[in-house]
């Protein structure tokens, strides 16, 4: 668990520096969705926010082979195909699972 904390801290610090406060998981997913879609604007509808967070979750989990991009619609939104079911887990486990994928995502972004 200490290893996780050491890997999560720099991600949290980077996001806090960029945005002036520590974002929660929903905000992190929203940011990843915007990044993936290259859609940066001031206002989003609730549905657009949910769609962006869905893109983020699928993008994150595609790193581990749970999803892959199947194609894009006419508006440029990706559509994902489930390759294997995500394991069932409790809320705390789920957050840790997602955070591990967030760490991998941002580490990969730095490499590019």
Identify the domain containing residue 103 by its residue range: 2-111
Split into its structural domains, the chain has a count of 1
Residues 50 and 72: their CA atoms lie apart, in Å, by 17
Q: Average of pLDDT values for 82-110?
A: 94
Distances in Å between the alpha carbon of 20 and those of 13, 16, 17, 63?
10, 5, 5, 28
Chain segment 72-91, per-residue pLDDT in tens: 999 889 999 999 999 999 99
Helix (H, G, I), strand (E, B) or coil at 111: helix
Q: What is the pTM of this model?
A: 0.90
Tell me the C-alpha to C-alpha distance, in Å, between residue 93 and each of 13, 31, 48, 65, 87.
22, 22, 27, 19, 10
């Amino acid at each position: 668990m200490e290893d996780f904390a050491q890997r999560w801290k720099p991600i949290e610090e980077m996001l806090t520096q960029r945005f002036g406060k520590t974002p929660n998981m929903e905000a992190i997913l929203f940011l990843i969705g915007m990044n993936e879609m290259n859609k940066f604007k001031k206002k989003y509808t609730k549905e657009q926010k949910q769609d962006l967070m869905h893109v983020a979750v699928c993008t994150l989990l595609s790193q581990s082979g749970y999803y892959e991009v199947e194609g894009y619609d006419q508006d440029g939104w990706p559509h994902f195909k489930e390759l294997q079911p995500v394991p069932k887990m409790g809320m705390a486990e789920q957050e840790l699972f997602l955070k591990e994928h967030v760490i991998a995502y941002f580490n990969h972004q730095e490499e590019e």
